[in-house]
Amino acid sequence: MAVEGALVEGEASIVRDIRGRPLNALRISVTDRCNFRCQYCMPREVFGPDFEFMARNLLLTFEEIDRVVASLLPLGLSKVRLTGGEPLMRKQLGNLISALAKHDLDLALTTNGALLAKQAQTLADAGLKRITISLDALDKNTFHIMNDVKVDPQVVLNGISASEKAGLPIKINAVIRRGINEHSILELARYFHGTPHILRFIEFMDVGQTNGWNIEEVVTAAEILEILSTEFEVEAIDPIEKGEVAKRYRYKDGGGEIGIVTSVSMPFCGDCNRARLTADGRLFTCLFSADGFDTRRLIRGESSEEEIGSAISNIWRQRDDRYSEIRTEDTTLRPKVEMSTIGG
């Protein structure tokens, strides 16, 4: 095990946690609001008309978000992903992207795609480098069951087309839940086979306290590969870099690449290099955490970028998270921040 806060020779500024994991990536939620009510994230029975979302005055401004990012660059930050809720519900999001694009970063965004067709070109023009779009099914009935709104999946497909036209590299994310959308595995594979888009299947995870997670509903990576094998031959390929969340595969016929996010069946905590910033400025060091560190207090208390970076560095050096590696029936009952707050 690495020594707490250890530094690698030649990387004097890179902060590492107790287990030697660097802080390379930051996922930033720009809003906790969403126009979908996906059962695995924001079930309608909890997030209904009376649910109190974050007050607007509590949200970090774009300038404040940019300050947090700038404070982490000297520590080794190289990737930023904008999330939500649904990030495209945050007005003038292109202004934030333009500000962040001035830094030397891999700048990405995750969206449900419902508002994407009209915004894709604006996002690309602002400096977004790539985009991930959620699409859990192609047939209307299953799509509606998964997201609990009457949005046609064609709306999302239109957003994918607009993103492709705008020149954005695209990944498609599909959460697979037993008894609901296993049939979508082959349908989605057929649809995106032969395209440049990377299709990624995600094991149903126990994020938050409200999604009714049951391990019996998890379709594992092994099962997904078995289903794919009935029509396609795929082979594993090496990760591009350490810390990737998806196991990578390619079609043997040259039809492209797929991925599987295996948080439940094959945890990847040992390489996790991501922190998460909520829309109101709380920093979480794990997707399955209960409590976050209040950066808004520092920002609005007129702390310098160096002081903000130092505070976050101290938090990261104490990090020892490895929830997925120790997941049990007991740990799944622990309080955890909701996915709609932390941004997945």
Interval 88-135: pLDDT, tens: 999 999 999 999 999 989 999 999 999 999 999 999 999 999 999 999
State residue 242's pLDDT score.
Answer: 84
Task: Give the C-alpha distances (Å, rounded to integers) separating 27 from 217, 303, 309.
Answer: 27, 22, 16
State residue 132's pLDDT score.
Answer: 98
Tokens of 342: 């932390």
State residue 65's pLDDT score.
Answer: 97
State residue 331's pLDDT score.
Answer: 76
Question: Is the pLDDT reported for residue 11 higher than 70?
Answer: no
* CA dihedral of 322, 245, 265, 283, whole degrees rounded to 10: 30
Range picked from 21-25, 208-212, 298-302 for highest mean pLDDT: 21-25
What is the C-alpha radius of gyration for the chain, rounded to an integer number of angstroms? 19
**Bridge pairing between strands 274-277 and 282-284:** antiparallel
Tokens of 124: 């690309």
Q: In this prediction, what percent of the chain has a pLDDT beyond 70?
A: 97
Task: Quickly state the pLDDT bin for 9 (edges 50, 70, 90).
Answer: very low
Question: What is the sign of the dihedral through the CA atoms of 73, 120, 54 and 286?
Answer: negative
Amino acid of residue 213: W
The values of phi and psi at residue 99, to 5°, are: -70, -45
Task: Quickly state the pLDDT bin for 7 (edges 50, 70, 90).
Answer: very low
Tokens of 221: 């990576």
**Cβ within 8 Å of residue 226, ≥6 positions away:** none
What is the H or E stretch that residue 228 is in? helix 221-228
What is the H or E stretch that residue 277 is in? strand 274-277
User: Model confidence over 159-208: pLDDT tens digits?
Assistant: 999 999 999 999 999 999 999 999 999 999 999 999 999 999 999 998 88
Domains of the chain: 25-342 (3.20.20.70)
